[in-house]
Amino acid sequence: MPFPNVNPFEPSVPSATLTDNPSGLKRWPVIVAILTCGYFLTSALTLPFADDVWFGEVPLLAFIQMPKGFVKSIVQSALMSLVSASGLSSGSHSPDYIATHFWAMGVMTTVPALTLAGSLTLLQRVPRRRWLVGAVLLSASLDTIVTFWFEQSSRLSLYNSSYF
């Protein structure tokens, strides 16, 4: 029995549901927040063991810290430029680098997490937004504490390289 008034060229689902996908808009911030929390937790949990697992002359667990080291390098370069431009430079690179190291570490560990938490706060249609913001801030805080502890107590210097 044929179906009356069926056009084979029209979709069986109304077009509004094909183009408007509100769940897709909700999904991306959640995925980014979960991946970021995973990175922060992985970084915090593996950093105390970064000096224990080596492959030749390369500490394998230090590879997890490379994104943070890259961000710190960018921030440190900007801070060094600010020190020179403001006239606060001592005239030598090493003392200026040492003076800006702590500040670059602080920016490296806090700004990415605060940027993501602020973005999640501003988005209106994110399910469990408060939980996600709390999870990002908690995991980032743990990673920040472990990073500063490791920087002060370890003989392995992971954040002193300059990519620029």
The pLDDT tens digits of the residues spanning 106-147 come to: 999 999 999 999 998 888 787 888 899 999 999 999 999 999
Confidence at residue 27, expressed as pLDDT on a 0 to 100 scale: 82
**What's 12's DSSP letter?**
S
Section 143-161 average pLDDT: 87
Distance separating alpha carbons of residues 147 and 61, to the nearest angstrom: 13
**What's 97's DSSP letter?**
H
Distance separating alpha carbons of residues 60 and 50, to the nearest angstrom: 7
